[in-house]
Amino acid sequence: MKKSFFILALLCVITLMSACQKEPSITQGVYGTVIERYGDWMPGSTADHGERPITCDVYVYEYTMLSDFNDSVSAPNSIDAMPKQLVAKTTSDSKGFYEIYLAPGTYSIFLLDDGKLHANGCDVYGGINPITINSNEKLERQLVLDHAVY
């Protein structure tokens, strides 16, 4: 009885989650959810922490590398001035959903927070938060604005 109840509950959760996902209207480009990671994620901490979808500005630039900056940028976050051309921008909705039509190519994607551009990660070549769009491809990408403590 408990096992069948668990399976039924799990199916309900999966159904609700898939029903809440928004389908992109773009035919090509990138879409997904912007989430904020917040709170104390230190091991053993009982402090409040988690993730939540947020409204945030999403910027797509020409493929940008760490070496494109004159000064030393050790992490791809808190960028004041961008050396590459802006390609597209949008704002995620109240559920964090965003979508941007992009021509085929490789780009770098950033979030604007408190007047600075933020990105999570690099590729092996030093490209900041890269995405590659192929013809007729819709790439799903979750973007994380990290305000957490680790």
Note the pLDDT tens digit of each residue in 6-49. Answer: 444 444 444 444 445 678 999 999 999 999 999 888 888 778 88
**Per-residue pLDDT at 73:** 54
Please check whether residue 13 lies inside any domain of the structure: no
CA angle, 14 then 23 then 64, to 5°: 110
Between 121 and 57, where is the model more confident?
A: 57
pLDDT higher than threshold 80 for residue 121: yes
63, 137 Cβ separation under 8 angstroms: no
Which residue type is seen at 130? P
pTM: 0.79
Count of domains for the chain: 1
Please check whether residue 99 lies inside any domain of the structure: yes
**CATH number assigned to the domain comprising residue 78:** 2.60.40.10
149, 37 Cβ separation under 8 angstroms: no
